Amino acid sequence: MSVTTNETPVAVEETAAAAPPPRSRGFLAGGHYIPYAMILPAVAALVGVLAYPLYQLFDLSFQNINRYSYLVNPALSKYIGFEGYGKVLGDDQFWEVVLRSVWFTLELVVLSMVLGMLFALLLNRVSGWVKVVCITVMMFVWAIPALVTGTIFRWLFASNGGVVDYIGYLFTGDEKTKHYDWFADPTVGLYVVGAAVIVWGALPFLVLGLNAALTQVPKELMEAAKLDGATGLQAFRHVVIPVIKPFLMISTALSFIWDFQVFAQIFSLRNTSPEPGYWTIGTYLFQKGIVASKYSDSSVISIAMILLMLAVLVFYIRQMLKIGAQDR
């Protein structure tokens, strides 16, 4: 470029800004390996703890071991290949239990998430001291063991002297409600009483977690939505849900995993002897593995249970990766 002055033209060179050196790419560049290095001890510990039991589980599933052959005559134990898988997977009762477990789990997840969200929203609208009292009570509920909770609910819904039946009598005045047997029909006992026990124990975690997630919603976004004329439901759908979506995904996946393998609540609710109509995958596994001592069959059931959990886990990981890609 040339610049003309009153005297003589003077050449001025335009200095180009020095370009930054190209950044190196790769796994070890820019500290990308640090997160993987930090979780490596946890992964190693999990592999060390789970590898041998999982190997034994798979090895046992290819044998025909029960209590007699294991304790009295080990010579009867032998490898039978996939015969055990065919036996379990060809059993109609197994698929009945799996289907019941899926429907029961879906009911629990929906009820837990909906009620948890409603209580979390309500918790955001109460005064400070009420919020502290509610959180304290929920922490106490969360600390009670599942076996104790199931026993308490068995007393509450008892047909003789049960609190729930007596409250129903006070409202209806019908003497029959005093001795209504909630457990005579497994459909009522499992999908009503059993669901109440499990949802009761799950709500504290969900309410506290969702309440914490709701505090992360920027107030400016809510105010902007109201200024644009959005209703409360529209603001909740288009503003709140997208912000708390990662926690919703985590809590839903965890709820499915916990509820699908539920055991202690049903076990104590039926006084340690759940009838076949109350069998979910957890109690069915207990009946086969502990009560009937069919160790090889219970190993096959355990593997099927693990594979179902892995399917849910894969779906959860894919959804979380999509959310992470959108946030970039």
In-domain check, residue 293: yes
In-domain check, residue 58: no
What pLDDT score was predicted for residue 72? 65
d(CA 112, CA 198): 9
In-domain check, residue 17: no
d(CA 33, CA 318): 22
Alpha-carbon torsion 70, 73, 75, 79, what sign? negative
Cα angle 283, 287, 292 (rounded to 5 degrees) comes to 170
In-domain check, residue 55: no
pLDDT of 4 > 60? The answer is no
Q: What is the mean pLDDT of residues 160-172?
A: 89
In-domain check, residue 162: yes
In-domain check, residue 26: no
**In this predicted structure, which of 41-55, 58-72, 202-216 has the lowest mean pLDDT?**
58-72
Q: What is the mean pLDDT of residues 159-187?
A: 89
Total domains in the chain come to 1
Q: What is the mean pLDDT of residues 137-166?
A: 91
What pLDDT score was predicted for residue 13? 47
d(CA 116, CA 147): 22
The backbone region for 81, taken as left when phi is positive above 0, alpha when psi lies in -120 to 50, beta otherwise, is left
What pLDDT score was predicted for residue 231? 85
Alpha-carbon torsion 76, 80, 86, 88, what sign? positive
> For residue 130, what are the CA distances in angstroms to 114, 133, 204, 285?
22, 5, 15, 43
Q: Which domain holds residue 108?
A: 88-327
Q: What is the mean pLDDT of residues 72-97?
A: 86
In-domain check, residue 171: yes
> For residue 147, what are the CA distances in angstroms to 108, 139, 271?
18, 17, 10
Q: What is the mean pLDDT of residues 27-40?
A: 71
What are the tens digits of pLDDT across the range 209-241? 999 999 888 888 888 888 888 888 888 888 889
What pLDDT score was predicted for residue 216? 87
Work out the mean pLDDT of the chain and round it to a whole number.
84
The more confident residue out of 326 and 87 is 87
**In this predicted structure, which of 29-38, 152-161, 224-233, 297-306 has the lowest mean pLDDT?**
29-38
Q: What is the mean pLDDT of residues 134-144?
A: 90
Instruction: Give residues with Cβ within 8 angstroms of 80, minimum separation 6.
Output: 62, 63, 64
Report the CATH number at residue 162: 1.10.3720.10
What are the tens digits of pLDDT across the range 94-125? 999 999 999 999 999 999 999 999 999 999 88
Expressed in angstroms, the distance from the first to the final Cα of the chain is 42
The more confident residue out of 305 and 31 is 305
pLDDT of 25 > 80? The answer is no
What pLDDT score was predicted for residue 3? 46
The more confident residue out of 27 and 63 is 63
Half-sphere exposure (Cβ direction) of 101: Cα atoms closer than 13 Å = 26
What pLDDT score was predicted for residue 161? 83
In-domain check, residue 53: no
d(CA 79, CA 195): 40
